[in-house]
Structure 1
Amino acid sequence: MILHGYWRSGAAYRVRIALALKGLAYEQVNHDLRTGGQAAPDYAALNPQRLVPALEVDGLIITQSVAILEWLDERFPEPALLPAHADGRAIVRSMVQTIVTDVHPLHNLRTLKALRQDFGASEDQVNAWMARWMTAGFAALETLIMRHGGDFAYGTTPTLADCVVVPALYSAERFGVDTMPYPHLVAAARRAAALAEAAHPSRQPDADA
């Protein structure tokens, strides 16, 4: 398996966590989003959306992090990252979508660039924008984790929800967003991150010194 990513990409971080939890070996090809590396012709031919991550497996190209996560769990079912019963799978998927659909797109690099370049937003305005959407999503997740969590975001073993929550917390802390109001989310993310230390952005071969 070859994972195309970028060390600080939250979406690529999700996939690295799942790979680590499942103990799967893979190679990395990294594309620096700050310099537009994802738009290089060879990668654009691989992933027409010109985003990371993408996973190459025996000629198969899978894009979009959630599609990759679901494929990994189906293709390599142990340890399972989705609950065995339909109700639990629905709850985990709702947690995933809270971040992937409603939070992450509003604070990723291309959105922040558009705020600065197209709308002239100041850094204070950009930071307020990020905090607004992160805290809204975290507040909802905190309630869901209080209802359904155990040691992790859902239950007592890691799930796809943890693969998504850990990078979201990393981004919040990176941008100075206050996470004190979300103790259950933070505790679950810390436990999951400890199981996948090799996936952390700072441990990646393309990470800044």
Structure 2
Amino acid sequence: MADQGKLTLYSYWLSTCAHRVRITLNLKGLDYEYKAVDIVKGDQSEPDFVRINPMKFVPALVDGDTVIVDSFAIVLYLEEKYPQSPLLPQDLKKKALNFQIASIVSSGIQPLQNFVVVNYIEQKLGSQEKDAWHINHFNRVFTALEKLLNGCARKYAAGDEIGLGDVFLAPQLYYVIKKFHMDMSNYPTLARLHAAYEEIPAFQAAVPENQPDAPSI
């Protein structure tokens, strides 16, 4: 188990779930120890990690004797325990919008791009079909998000302050744009938000290539 006096994040550099937790930790100015779990090599099945997360997923957060193994739960835990730089506004309408965005990303697209699912698709149908699977679901979810945000004039997704919705949306946009070079012309609001996130230091520090386990190029 990790140092009792310091937060420990078990992470994989490319994981969008871990990415959103890294953003949250950075926004709140929290110091943490980064422990890499290489899910491609199978580190998630090592006995030491399985004791932390029997589901064999990243991220996992250890805070003393508290272990949390779901990114949504981790972010809400950090929000409750560390109220600085709050991610949820008091305004009920804005709060609901933040929760909707986060939920759409975490339930509408995340399970379909899970490493286990994508590997299964590739094994059964091949790489081309795997990529088509990705793009199909990205387009479906981004169409819904673009309509939900409805060309918002706000600085960020749900207001002029960074919120929970941004924390979930940013890694997904980054992944799609950087890895798949997806044409975002049909999603001008999402494209604008992606550009805004790239200017924020806490978001910049959390991107995959800035993690200690990212491969050297």
Q: Classify the TM-score, shorter chain.
A: over 0.9
Instruction: Give the equivalent residue in structure 1 for 2:184.
Output: 179
| Distance in 2 between residues matched to 1:5 and 1:134, nearest whole Å | 23
What secondary structure, in the 3-state scheme, does the structure 2 residue paired with 1:101 have? helix
What secondary structure, in the 3-state scheme, does the structure 2 residue paired with 1:135 have? helix
Query: Is 1:130 matched with 2:137?
Result: no
What secondary structure, in the 3-state scheme, does the structure 2 residue paired with 1:33 have? coil
Instruction: Give the equivalent residue in structure 2 for 1:161.
Output: 165
Query: Is 1:200 matched with 2:207?
Result: yes
Confirm or deny: 8 A CA contact 2:122 2:129 kept in the other structure: no
Confirm or deny: 8 A CA contact 1:172 1:178 kept in the other structure: no
Q: What aligned pairs does 1:133-148 form with structure 2 within 5 A after superposition?
A: 133-146=137-150
Instruction: Give the equivalent residue in structure 2 for 1:152.
Output: 156
**Residue segments in structure 2 that go unaligned for 5+ positions in a row:** 1-6
Over aligned residues, Cα RMSD in angstroms? 1.3
1:58 to 64, 73, 76: 64
TM-score by length of 1: 0.94
Instruction: Give the equivalent residue in structure 1 for 2:109.
Output: 103
Alignment CA distance shift 1:188-1:41 (3 Å): same
Identity %: 33
Confirm or deny: 8 A CA contact 1:99 1:164 kept in the other structure: yes
Letter of the 2:212 counterpart: P
Letter of the 1:139 counterpart: T
Q: Please give the per-residue CA displacement for 1:102-147, whole angstroms capped at 9, x wherever unaligned.
A: 1111122211101122x2x122211111011111111111122236
Instruction: Give the equivalent residue in structure 2 for 1:68.
Output: 74
Q: Please give the per-residue CA displacement for 1:19-67, whole angstroms capped at 9, x wherever unaligned.
A: 1111111110010011111111000001111100000001100111010
| Distance in 2 between residues matched to 1:53 and 1:38, nearest whole Å | 10
Letter of the 1:34 counterpart: V
Confirm or deny: 8 A CA contact 2:20 2:167 kept in the other structure: yes
User: CA shift at 1:190, angstroms?
Assistant: 2.5
Letter of the 2:66 counterpart: L
Instruction: Give the equivalent residue in structure 1 for 2:3.
Output: none
Confirm or deny: 8 A CA contact 1:149 1:156 kept in the other structure: no
Letter of the 2:174 counterpart: Y
Query: Is 1:36 matched with 2:37?
Result: no
What secondary structure, in the 3-state scheme, does the structure 1 residue paired with 2:9 have? strand
Between the two proteins, the alignment pairs up a number of residues equal to 207
**Residue segments in structure 1 that go unaligned for 5+ positions in a row:** none
| Distance in 2 between residues matched to 1:147 and 1:179, nearest whole Å | 14
Confirm or deny: 8 A CA contact 2:152 2:189 kept in the other structure: no
Confirm or deny: 8 A CA contact 1:82 1:159 kept in the other structure: yes
| Distance in 1 between residues matched to 2:80 and 2:206, nearest whole Å | 21
| Distance in 2 between residues matched to 1:186 and 1:66, nearest whole Å | 24
What secondary structure, in the 3-state scheme, does the structure 2 residue paired with 1:56 have? strand
Confirm or deny: 8 A CA contact 2:61 2:68 kept in the other structure: yes
